Chains A and B, each alone.
Chain A
Amino acid sequence: MTTMFARLANPTVFLVLTRRLLPALAGLTALLFAAGLYLSFAASPADYQQGDTVRIMYVHVPAAWLSMLIYTLIAISALGTLVWRHPLADVAAKTAAPLGACFTLLCLLTGSIWGRPMWGAWWVWDGRLTSVFVLFLIYLGLIALQRTIEDPGQAARAAAIMAIVGFINIPIIKFSVDWWNTLHQPASVFRLGGPSVDPTMLWPLMVMAAAFLFLFVTLHLASMRNELLRRRIRTIALLNSRTQPA
């Protein structure tokens, strides 16, 4: 594991490796989405109480899981930047933040659409909704910070400190439904005593979660490649401007 991380520290190795990996990952994502969408829209039953609106779950729940997973990834990358000074850690954190913000927004929007028929309101200030909303704001602040500081090295360290400080919100989101007795339902998949979701719905959900995960991995690797290439261009431009006086 350590040697793999050390080898990947060379951006060129990373670029070569991901160029080979990306088509396969993209294909796998497409297959998983095809299977997941079929399972969730055609092969799974409607809920006895919620009817067909329960199918929003197959988008909402994976997006919610990803919103927290991506922030965790950013926080680990932040440690990589501050502690190990891994050269790719900052690239990973910087490119993951906009993706994380997108999945968080998707989670909030689908949740809102689902909440309208079920709770009778587009939005309620309930513990989990509020903490996910705060996560979205933290993502936006992080993106703003990354874009404001010009020097890439300083921007990386500033964003890393901010990411670690903001990580406190993740356990609050996870346990908000247990700490506060709220409108949002408690954890029903990852809980003691096994999932309380029926297998006919659990399977489509898991396939969709895998599809979302691979979608994120594909997009993230592609966007890391772009960021690396962008930095190379920046370095070349800086070198050129230095060697050729105007």
Chain B
Amino acid sequence: MTRAFLALLRRDLILSVRIGGGFELVLIFFLMIVALVPFAVGPDPNLLSRIAPAILWIAALLATLLGLDRLFQADAEDGSLDMLRMARLPLELAALAKMAAHWLASGLLLALAAPALGLLLSLEPAAMLPLSLTLLVGTPALTAIGAIGAALTARMRRGGLLSSILVLPLMLPTLIFGVSATQAALGGGVPFRTPLLMLGAISLIAIVLGAWASAAALRMDD
């Protein structure tokens, strides 16, 4: 069972590396959003450094959504989803493997790239490591929640928009605690640990719920 899980994970990672529109596009999209903000709000460094954690989190959220609509759709189209459903590996674990591959090719990279992009937004150096840490802990939740929407709309032709409408409200708690953890690291009322632990809890719940709900959604038509 572990072998099947790892094989699926490996396959999805290879696909995201070799097929255009994979992980590098996610990073470029992330960079684009960050570059757009100074044009929109003006290049004042004080303002930018104050809203930098929020911008980076929103950019991460949008960049995560980007790859999600193809998460199950591509498999539904070429029939590999039917193979996965017949396989001995429980569909919940298959969904988990796909979620893990998606996170490795998006969330993890975003967390690693965030400090460099923080420089562009004159983020305070003290906040860079905490910001990366919050993204590392929080983005699995974004992937897992997004996977539910992706699974629900897997067989629709233009499910991307509907999927975003469904999952964005559910991603709000992650966003709230992610940004408040970064703000706490910059000095505030609460210690950094509290919102970070909440963020970890949200991620763990979201992973379990996401695996279960997306598997249920993929089994919808039988």
Q: Are A and B physically bound partners?
A: yes
Kindly state whether residue B152 has any CB partner on chain A within 8 Å: yes
Known: A145-B162, A161-B213, A162-B152. A154 touches B169 (CB 8 A): no
Chain B 206-220 against A: per-residue CB contact (8 Å), 1 yes, 0 no?
000100010011001
Partner of A158, one of B152, B168, B170, B173: B152
Per the CB 8 Å criterion, the residue count for chain B at the interface is: 17
- Chain A interface helix/strand/loop/mixed: helix
A71 CB to closest chain B CB (Å) equals 13
Kindly state whether residue B221 has any CB partner on chain A within 8 Å: yes
Q: CA of A157 to CA of B156 in the docked complex: distance in angstroms?
A: 15
Binds B, one of A3-11, A22-30, A45-53, A136-144: A136-144
Q: CA of A137 to CA of B221 in the docked complex: distance in angstroms?
A: 26
Task: Check if A165 sits within 8 Å of B213, measured CB to CB.
Answer: yes
Kindly list chain A residues whose C-beta atoms are within 8 Å of the C-beta of B40: none
Kindly state whether residue A82 has any CB partner on chain B within 8 Å: yes
Kindly list chain B residues whose C-beta atoms are within 8 Å of the C-beta of A164: 213
Kindly list chain A residues whose C-beta atoms are within 8 Å of the C-beta of B165: 137, 140-141, 144
Kindly list chain A residues whose C-beta atoms are within 8 Å of the C-beta of B112: none
- Chain B interface helix/strand/loop/mixed: helix
Smallest Cβ-Cβ distance to A148: which chain B residue: B162
Kindly state whether residue A149 has any CB partner on chain B within 8 Å: yes
Task: Check if A154 sits within 8 Å of B221, measured CB to CB.
Answer: yes
Per the CB 8 Å criterion, the residue count for chain A at the interface is: 23
Q: CA of A137 to CA of B165 in the docked complex: distance in angstroms?
A: 8
Among B148, B152, B173, B217, the most chain A Cβ lie within 10 Å of the Cβ of B152
Kindly state whether residue A34 has any CB partner on chain B within 8 Å: no
Chain A 160-171 against B: per-residue CB contact (8 Å), 1 yes, 0 no?
011011101100
A159 CB to closest chain B CB (Å) equals 9
Smallest Cβ-Cβ distance to A156: which chain B residue: B220
Kindly list chain B residues whose C-beta atoms are within 8 Å of the C-beta of A82: 216
Kindly state whether residue A134 has any CB partner on chain B within 8 Å: yes
Among A82, A134, A165, the most chain B Cβ lie within 10 Å of the Cβ of A165
Kindly state whether residue B35 has any CB partner on chain A within 8 Å: no
Closest 5 CB pairs of A and B: A137-B169, A141-B166, A157-B220, A134-B169, A141-B165
Q: A161-B213, A162-B166, A172-B173 are in contact. List 6 more A-B contacts (CB 8 A).
A: A141-B165, A144-B166, A154-B220, A157-B220, A162-B152, A169-B170
